[in-house]
């Protein structure tokens, strides 16, 4: 599906962004809707168990779909921030939370740090719902709001601006380097609070 689509320097993404930015808004929206339908079709046609190449490690279909949702959330937040519109909590954040939990080790690898051997417990809330991942008795724990966790993991907010806490040295480090997307780490957002 994606083999041979990428270049080492990221030029493919930059060229596509430049081309799309030159389109009229209505044309861009229609193009986006067509591409969305194409992605859905392509994902449903991937044979069971086959992994899909991507910028980072290859991933299964469900994880690839979650990663696309994460990207829409992250870039949608960029637009909301530019227009000074508050983020909207949604049950869909569960897909992002699952993706982030599943790719914890990637954040350590991309920062050239040893991958933790011990399990983490993640407890995130959205309204009255609490989503959990990992063993109940894990020493390394992350707790907080699902929206803030997603904003932090997509590097749309600084850790100091999020209602997410860690218990345990490795969990604390993870929140400093957390990254939901493939690619090299950037410097992230500046804190708006201290």
Residue ranges per structural domain of the chain: 17-83, 92-177
The mean pLDDT value for 47-56 works out to 85
Residue 22 makes CB contacts below 8 A (sequence gap 6+) with none
Confidence category of residue 131, pLDDT binned at 50, 70, 90: very high
CATH pick for 92-177 out of 3.30.1300.10, 3.30.1050.10, 1.10.238.10, 1.10.101.10: 3.30.1050.10
Q: Judge if pTM exceeds 0.85.
A: no
Confidence category of residue 3, pLDDT binned at 50, 70, 90: very low
């Amino acid at each position: 599906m994606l083999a041979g689509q990428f270049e080492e320097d990221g030029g493919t993404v930059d060229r596509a962004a430049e081309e799309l930015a030159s389109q009229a808004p209505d044309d861009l929206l229609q193009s986006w809707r067509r591409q969305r339908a194409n992605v859905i079709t392509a994902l449903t046609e991937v044979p069971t168990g086959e992994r899909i190449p991507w910028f980072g490690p290859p991933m299964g279909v469900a994880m690839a779909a979650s990663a696309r949702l994460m990207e829409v959330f992250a870039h949608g937040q960029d637009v909301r921030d530019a227009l000074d519109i508050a983020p909207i909590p949604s049950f869909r954040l569960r897909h992002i939370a699952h993706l982030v939990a599943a790719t914890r080790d990637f954040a350590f690898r991309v920062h050239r740090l040893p991958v933790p051997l011990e399990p983490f417990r993640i407890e995130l809330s959205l309204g009255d719902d609490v989503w959990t991942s990992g063993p109940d008795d894990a020493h390394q724990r992350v707790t907080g709001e699902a929206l803030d966790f997603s904003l932090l993991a997509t590097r749309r907010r600084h850790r100091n601006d999020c209602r997410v806490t860690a218990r345990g040295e490795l969990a604390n480090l993870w929140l400093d380097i957390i990254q939901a997307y493939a690619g090299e780490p950037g410097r992230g957002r500046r804190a708006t609070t201290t």
